[in-house]
Every structure is written in structure tokens, then in C-alpha cells.
């Protein structure tokens, strides 16, 4: 009982599983408890101990089938055949020229797939190494071809051996043997052709996915393709979920109120050292308000949409989010966001025909309008986030109004999607606005946006 | 608190209304026979949590549940000292304390005498047990469900390891508390992140899939006794068809049951594309998913 299990474990390890000795011991112990002759139970016990993640299971099932069904399947039934088969294999061994893949195939035929599986795995992992520049998978392909040629060669050798020794076997036995080896070679072929794909594909997909996101993090928003925009949204969704968790916990924890030992002891001094009043930590911190002003001329919009998306996904973490968009004039869009799902709202704003996107951006006019209509929404708990390139098209920047706004609110943060080097060049009035801002940030790719949002929230 | 064999598991779980495949039953049986925790993985809604509840019902013992989340710490999972109670008790027994230190010649002696009494204040009386400590110190056997363990932080996972391998916890002021009865532990995971190899190694793993057609039909029949065979077949087939669509959240068993219930409530005897569209919100939790189903409603029903 133990031997076949150990052999199977060795094969699993050769195929790239990490199976610890403890797990093998557990499994053998457990097999004594179940009905080994019931295959579902037997398989479930092996699977529960050896393939401990979803990703491994499909491949495990295939290995299981190979090991317990395809290999040595009918040997016990026909002793004579087994002997003859061994005879053929031994003669092949004698002829073997020391080539590794050739040896592996012969061992595979003799019912020991270890070397063959190891070889398969090498071919796969080789395929996984990222090559510089152009991506080829010629390496693994060539290796696979080589093994295929090897398999055919072994098939020929077997045929030749059977022909060269006409007296050793009767014709029925010869047919049996041919069929027998054919099945083995077939399953080796199947391993070679089918097996690696789902396995490596998943791994490869996984790896490059992470890498892809890393690259995505550094790409300027303006140059994203439609597909990448979707990816960015996924990343932001994850971020939002994480932040919400953290923040809701912060509030929940504070609401509960932990005993404040220091304060309780200090207060007890009043009552002759008796802690009559037990004091708890403070009530939750008050939530902040956010006012966003977004330049939606085409130069900035690509970055602004993502920021709006995140802010609105997080809106329950703020008391209120007011948002405005502007090109040459200001327009409040809070309502659109309140009533619609963020992505949808963004589309709606873009399609809003009343708004003229094709005029030069006028920051001065925007600020004048804000002062006139909306100054009252700014309180000491408001954070203003302005997203724009500060390119005023040589119109009056009205930076003085921004100063007034600063007086009334808690913080002013300016996000600029342009690279640092081009700030204040040409018509950019970044430095005129700079003196009124608490914080200036570059925000032109995903990483910078994530960094900003995390700092804002935590 | 053990099962006799795999069939026994299936029977006992069925009595309490949980139908398992043979594979799941095998794993449950092995876990109960070897006192090992089970790590259950699978898509949302296939009955991972329900499995633990059913096991508790089958053993007729208490289910202690620990819901994991990011930032869960020992104070919330294991135990916490009740400071307020300690402080109040100190005040109330003040006279006793002065009794203890009367006659002490030096300050050191007085402190020593009080130190001798220290245990009184750090005893189990002042401990507020949280799920894990409760499960370990319980006199009767319990089922401990550690739900969504993948949501917890890696540090907490490391802490769980210690608990799951020895079934004991150490509280510095009191000492080590060993499990009276080894609880039957079920961990569930949604694949939010991969669990560490060390944790996996200590557990028996089971991946619960969407059930086979026959199994799902049996589940529906047992959950909704009054339902006709024909409707059950249609419900299960339609849901299985819907699962083949590429969607954000596929309908799971609990949704199949909810849907079947609502169809019964509406007195529907035959599922038509119209019926599907009208009751779609029982099955699809996202707008985009509902849209995808709407487009294919005709072929899904047949």
C-alpha cells in the first residue's frame, strides 16, 4: 500500500507539487480509515492531502488518472504479457545511448513516469522564463518536438525488436504487445501535447497579470487603451474595497470605545483614588467633506475620470462629496454622481451636450463662478481637490480667489496630470496657484493616483 | 464526536438537511477521525459555511463562529482582560488589601504580600473569552467555524497555526490553556488570497464545486419539500445554463433555492423566458449579469 503512494508522491513532486512528508504521513494514516477499494474515497483522501489549492486540482486529477489508470493498468491481469513487455523494455534499455529523454521514455514505458514528468516540467518552466525583447516560445516548442521525435523513435525500436525476434513471441502476443506499448506511448503523447497547457497557461496568466498591472501603474492615463482602462478600474475597485474595510473598522472601533486607563486614573484622583468615572477613548473622528474641481478638457480628463471614480466609490467614507467640472465655466455634477453608479455617471457627463468642451480652458472664470455661487459649501472640514494642468490659455488666473477659498477650508490639494518638468512652462500658471495650495502632486498614472488616495484616506 | 464511516457521514448530514457528495463526506469523515481541521474552498454560496453548521447540528453540539476580517487581532479572537471590572473590584476589596498589608514592617514586605495575591486579579474571572478561547475551553465538544480566513492578516494566520497544531493557547498572566475537547475546526476561504503552505499543511483540503445536476436537484427537493419534480428539473437546468455564461457572480445553490421558493410563491408551474426575466433579480446580483442573461433568456430556458 505504502509503496504505490510513495511512488505517486514522487511523481507529483516531479510534476512540481510541494508535498511535505507530514502530508504523506497524514495521507497514509487516513487511507487506513477509508475504504480503499471505493475509488471516490481513495481519491478524495489523496486529493485532500496533496492538492491543496484550486489551481492544482485539475492537474492533480490528470496525474491521478495517469498513475492509477493508464500506467500498469492491466499488467496484473496478464502476467505473461508483463514478462514479455519487461523483456522488450530491457532490450531497449540495453540499446539506450544515454540520451536523457530517451531514457525517460523507456522508464515511462516500464511504468515509472517520474523522469518523464520531470522532463515535462522542465520544458514548461523553461517556457515561463520571460525573455527580453521579442517573446518567443520556440525553446519549449523545440524541446517538445524533440521528445515527440524520441517517442516515435522508441515506437520504431519496439517494432523492430518485435520483428527481429520472430521466435520469441507468437503472433497474438506480438499484437498484444504492440497494442500495449501503443497505449503507453499514446498517453505519453497526451501528456506532452495536452498536459502542459492548462497548467502553464494559468501560471503564466497569473504572473504576467501581476506584471501587467505593475506596468500599468506607470503608464500615463492619457495613453491607456480601452482594455487597460478596464484593468485600471479593477485595480481601483480592489483599492476601494480595501480602504473601505480599513476605514469602517476605524469608525467601528472608535464607536465602541476602549477603556482609557490614563484618563480614568487621573480622574479618580478627584474621588480619593476611587475610579468612580470610567473614561473611554474618544468618539469617532468626524468625517471630512470633499469638494473636487475637475478640468475636463481633453488634456486632463483621462486622469480626472479615475479620480472621480475612486472618490465616489468611497463616498460613504466622507460626509459629503461635491464635485464640479469646468472648461470655460463651472458646472456642478454632484447630483449626477449621487444618482448614478460612478462609471455610468462619468459617461453621462462626457455625453452632456450642453457643455462645451471645445473652448479654451478658463481657470479664472471658473474660480470667479465658484466664488459667486458656491463659496458657502466650504467649511473648515472641507478638503478641496483640484485636478487640472493649470494651463490658463494666457487668461487671468485669478489665483487670489483660490487664496480666499483656502482661507475658508481645511486643505487645498492640486493634482496635476502633467509631468513635473512642464509645470509653469508656457501658459501653465502652476506657480501662481502654488502659493495657495497646501499640497501639489503629480497625478498622471495609476501608482500616483493610488498613493494619493491612500494618503488622503488614511 | 465521530462518524463511523463515509456513508454514516452522508446519512447524518442528510438528516440535518445537508446533502453532500461522496468526496466531501470522505473528507469530513477523515477530519473527524484524525482530529484535523478542514479547509473548505469554493465559490461563494456553495454551502461552505453551511457545511460547518450542518456538522454542528449532526453532532448536536454548539457552533462557535469566528468571522475573520482584515485587522482581526488576538484581543478580538482569543481573549481580552476586562479592565473596568478589575478596577472596580480593586476598589471594592480595598479594605481587604489593607488587612493584608497591616503589620508589614517595610514597604518591600507590603509589596511582596500584595504580589502573593496577584493571582486574584489575573484570574479567569476577569478574562473575557472570545471565540477561539471559548472553543478551546468548552467542556462539551464544539464545532469551531473560522469563516473567511483568507480575509484575515498573515499575522493572524500565523497565530492560528499555533492554535491548530497543538490546540492550546498561552495567556502570559495565567499560563497555558489546553483544549478539554479538541474542537472540530472548519476553516472557509473564498480565495481572496492564497493561504500559506504551513496552514494548508495542517489542514485537510476540500474544494466544493457547484454540485452535479442530480445532487442539486436533491438539495432543492429537500429544502423545499412541496416542489414538483418537473419544476425542480427546470429550475436546476436553467440555473446550470446560466452558470455557463461569463458573469461577475454566478448564481449559487442558495440562489437556486431562493429562486425556486419565489417561483413557488408566485404559483409558477412552468418556466418560460418571461418568467425568468420577471424573477431575474433573484438570480443575478449585478446589472451587467442580468443584462447578459436577458439577451439569452430564450435559449437558457430551453
For residue B49, give the nearest of B212, B254, B257, B278 by alpha carbon: B254
% of residues, chain B, pLDDT over 70: 99
C-alpha cell at A55: 489551481
Q: What is the pLDDT of residue B259?
A: 92
Q: Which of A45, A245, A259 sits opposite B84 (nearest CB)?
A: A259
> Cβ separation of A54 and B207 shorter than 8 Å?
yes
In this predicted structure, the answer to whether residue B38 has a pLDDT above a threshold of 90 is yes
C-alpha cell at A336: 449626477
> Cβ separation of A53 and B84 shorter than 8 Å?
no
In chain A, residues with a C-beta closer than 8 Å to the C-beta of B197 are 18
C-alpha cell at A420: 513635473
Lowest mean pLDDT among A237-251, A377-391, B147-161: A237-251
Confidence band of A156 (pLDDT split at 50, 70, 90): confident
Lowest mean pLDDT among A125-134, A391-400, B54-63: A125-134
Residues A142-162 as b/e (b if ≥16 CB within 10 A, e otherwise) read: ebbeebeebbeebbebbeebb
In this predicted structure, the answer to whether residue B46 has a pLDDT above a threshold of 90 is no
In chain A, residues with a C-beta closer than 8 Å to the C-beta of B36 are 26
Contacts of A22 (CB under 8 A, 6+ apart): B201
> Cβ separation of B33 and A30 shorter than 8 Å?
yes
In this predicted structure, the answer to whether residue A200 has a pLDDT above a threshold of 50 is no
In chain A, residues with a C-beta closer than 8 Å to the C-beta of B5 are 34-35
CB A114 within 8 A of CB A121: no
pLDDT, tens digit (0-9, with 9 covering 90-100), for A406-426: 888 888 888 888 887 777 777
> How many other CB atoms are found less than 10 A from the CB of residue A207?
12
Contacts of A378 (CB under 8 A, 6+ apart): A291, A384, A405, A408, A409
pLDDT, tens digit (0-9, with 9 covering 90-100), for B239-292: 998 888 877 788 888 889 999 999 999 988 888 888 888 888 888 888 888 888
A229 to chain B nearest CA, in Å?
Answer: 17
Q: What is the pLDDT of residue B63?
A: 93
Residue A242 touches chain B, beta carbons under 8 Å = yes
In chain A, residues with a C-beta closer than 8 Å to the C-beta of B87 are 264, 275, 278
> Cβ separation of B6 and A34 shorter than 8 Å?
yes
Q: How far is CA A22 from the centre of its chain?
A: 31
Contacts of B220 (CB under 8 A, 6+ apart): B227, B232, B235, B236, B256, B257, B260
Q: What is the pLDDT of residue A196?
A: 46
Q: Is the dihedral of CA A115, A117, A118, A124 positive or negative?
A: positive
Q: What is the pLDDT of residue B278?
A: 87
Residue of B nearest to A242 (CA): B70
> Cβ separation of A40 and B23 shorter than 8 Å?
yes
In this predicted structure, the answer to whether residue B210 has a pLDDT above a threshold of 70 is yes
For residue A43, give the nearest of B6, B191, B3 by alpha carbon: B6
B217 to chain A nearest CA, in Å?
Answer: 21
Integer Cα distance of A142 and A108 in angstroms: 21
Q: What is the pLDDT of residue A282?
A: 63
User: What are phi and psi for residue A253, nearest 5 degrees?
Assistant: -60, -45
Give the position of cell 481601483.
A236
- Mean pLDDT for chain A overall: 76
Residue B150 touches chain A, beta carbons under 8 Å = no
Residue B88 touches chain A, beta carbons under 8 Å = yes
Confidence band of A357 (pLDDT split at 50, 70, 90): low
Q: What is the pLDDT of residue A125?
A: 65
% of residues, chain A, pLDDT over 70: 81
In chain A, residues with a C-beta closer than 8 Å to the C-beta of B24 are 44
In chain B, residues with a C-beta closer than 8 Å to the C-beta of A29 are 34
Mean pLDDT for A396-411 is 85
Complex-level ipTM: 0.77
- Mean pLDDT for chain B overall: 86
Amino acid at each position: 500500500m505504502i509503496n504505490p503512494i510513495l511512488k505517486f508522491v514522487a511523481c507529483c513532486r516531479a510534476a512540481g507539487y510541494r508535498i511535505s512528508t507530514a502530508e504523506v504521513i497524514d495521507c497514509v494514516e487516513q487511507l487506513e480509515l477509508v475504504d480503499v477499494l471505493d475509488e471516490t474515497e481513495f481519491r478524495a483522501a489523496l486529493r485532500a492531502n496533496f492538492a491543496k489549492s484550486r489551481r492544482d486540482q485539475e492537474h492533480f486529477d490528470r496525474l491521478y488518472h495517469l498513475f492509477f489508470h493508464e500506467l500498469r493498468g492491466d499488467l496484473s491481469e496478464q502476467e505473461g504479457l508483463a514478462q514479455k513487455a519487461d523483456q522488450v523494455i530491457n532490450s531497449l534499455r540495453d540499446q539506450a545511448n544515454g540520451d536523457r529523454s530517451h531514457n525517460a521514455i523507456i522508464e515511462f514505458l516500464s511504468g515509472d513516469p517520474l523522469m518523464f514528468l520531470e522532463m515535462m516540467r522542465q520544458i514548461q518552466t523553461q517556457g515561463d522564463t520571460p525573455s527580453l525583447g521579442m517573446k518567443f516560445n520556440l525553446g519549449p516548442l523545440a524541446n517538445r518536438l524533440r521528445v515527440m521525435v524520441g517517442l516515435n523513435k522508441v515506437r520504431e525500436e519496439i517494432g523492430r525488436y518485435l520483428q527481429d525476434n520472430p521466435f520469441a513471441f507468437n503472433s497474438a502476443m506480438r499484437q498484444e504487445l504492440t497494442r500495449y506499448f501503443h497505449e503507453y506511448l499514446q498517453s505519453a503523447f497526451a501528456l506532452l501535447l495536452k498536459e502542459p497547457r492548462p497548467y502553464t497557461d494559468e501560471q503564466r496568466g497569473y504572473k504576467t497579470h501581476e506584471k501587467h498591472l505593475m506596468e500599468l501603474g506607470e503608464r500615463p492615463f492619457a495613453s491607456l487603451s480601452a482594455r487597460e482602462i478596464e484593468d485600471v478600474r479593477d485595480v481601483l475597485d480592489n483599492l476601494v474595497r480595501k480602504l473601505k474595510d480599513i476605514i469602517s473598522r476605524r469608525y467601528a472601533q472608535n464607536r465602541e470605545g476602549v477603556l482609557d486607563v490614563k484618563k480614568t486614573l487621573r480622574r479618580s484622583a478627584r474621588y480619593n483614588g476611587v475610579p468612580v468615572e470610567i473614561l473611554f477613548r474618544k468618539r469617532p473622528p468626524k468625517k471630512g467633506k470633499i469638494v473636487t474641481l475637475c478640468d475636463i478638457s481633453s488634456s486632463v480628463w483621462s486622469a480626472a475620470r479615475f479620480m472621480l471614480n475612486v472618490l465616489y466609490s468611497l463616498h460613504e467614507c466622507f460626509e459629503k462629496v461635491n464635485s464640479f467640472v469646468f472648461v470655460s465655466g463651472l458646472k456642478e455634477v454632484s447630483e449626477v454622481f449621487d444618482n448614478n453608479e460612478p462609471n455610468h455617471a462619468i459617461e453621462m457627463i462626457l455625453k452632456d451636450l450642453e457643455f462645451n468642451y471645445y473652448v479654451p480652458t478658463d481657470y479664472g472664470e471658473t474660480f470667479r463662478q465658484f466664488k459667486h455661487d458656491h463659496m458657502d459649501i466650504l467649511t473648515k472640514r472641507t478638503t478641496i481637490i483640484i485636478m487640472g494642468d493649470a494651463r490658463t490659455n494666457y487668461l487671468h488666473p485669478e489665483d487670489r480667489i483660490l487664496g480666499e477659498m483656502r482661507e475658508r477650508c481645511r486643505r487645498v490639494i492640486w493634482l496635476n496630470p502633467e509631468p513635473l518638468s512642464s509645470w509653469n512652462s508656457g501658459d501653465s500658471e502652476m506657480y501662481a496657484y502654488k502659493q495657495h495650495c497646501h499640497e501639489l502632486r503629480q497625478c498622471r498614472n495609476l501608482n500616483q493616483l493610488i498613493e494619493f488616495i491612500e494618503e488622503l484616506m488614511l | 464526536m465521530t462518524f463511523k464511516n463515509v456513508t454514516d457521514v452522508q446519512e447524518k448530514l442528510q438528516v440535518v438537511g445537508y446533502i453532500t457528495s461522496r468526496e466531501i463526506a470522505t473528507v469530513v469523515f477523515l477530519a473527524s477521525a484524525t482530529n484535523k481541521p478542514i479547509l473548505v474552498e469554493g465559490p461563494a454560496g456553495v454551502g461552505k459555511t453551511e457545511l460547518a453548521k450542518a456538522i454542528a447540528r449532526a453532532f448536536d453540539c454548539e457552533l462557535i463562529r469566528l468571522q475573520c476580517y482584515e485587522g482581526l487581532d488576538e484581543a478580538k479572537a482569543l481573549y481580552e482582560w476586562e479592565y473596568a471590572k478589575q478596577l472596580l473590584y480593586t476598589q471594592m476589596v480595598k479594605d481587604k488589601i489593607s488587612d493584608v498589608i497591616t503589620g508589614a514592617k517595610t514597604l518591600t514586605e507590603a509589596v511582596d504580600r500584595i504580589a502573593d495575591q496577584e493571582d486574584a486579579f489575573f484570574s479567569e474571572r476577569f478574562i473575557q473569552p472570545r471565540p477561539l478561547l471559548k472553543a478551546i475551553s468548552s467542556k462539551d465538544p464544539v464545532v469551531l467555524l473560522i469563516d473567511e480566513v483568507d480575509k484575515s492578516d498573515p499575522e493572524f494566520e500565523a497565530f492560528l497555526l499555533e492554535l491548530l497544531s497543538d490546540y492550546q493557547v498561552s495567556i502570559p498572566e495565567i499560563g497555558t490553556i489546553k483544549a478539554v475537547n479538541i474542537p472540530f475546526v472548519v476553516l472557509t476561504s473564498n480565495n481572496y488570497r492564497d493561504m500559506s503552505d504551513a496552514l494548508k499543511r495542517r489542514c485537510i483540503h476540500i474544494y466544493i464545486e457547484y454540485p452535479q445536476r442530480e445532487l442539486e436537484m436533491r438539495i432543492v427537493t429537500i429544502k423545499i419539500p412541496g416542489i414538483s419534480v418537473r419544476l425542480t428539473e427546470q429550475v436546476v437546468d436553467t440555473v446550470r445554463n446560466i452558470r455557463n455564461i461569463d458573469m461577475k457572480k454566478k448564481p449559487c445553490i442558495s440562489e437556486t433555492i431562493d429562486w425556486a421558493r419565489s417561483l413557488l410563491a408566485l404559483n409558477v408551474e412552468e418556466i418560460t423566458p418571461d418568467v425568468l426575466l420577471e424573477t431575474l433579480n433573484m438570480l443575478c446580483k449585478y446589472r451587467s449579469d442580468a443584462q447578459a442573461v436577458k439577451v439569452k433568456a430564450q435559449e437558457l430556458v430551453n
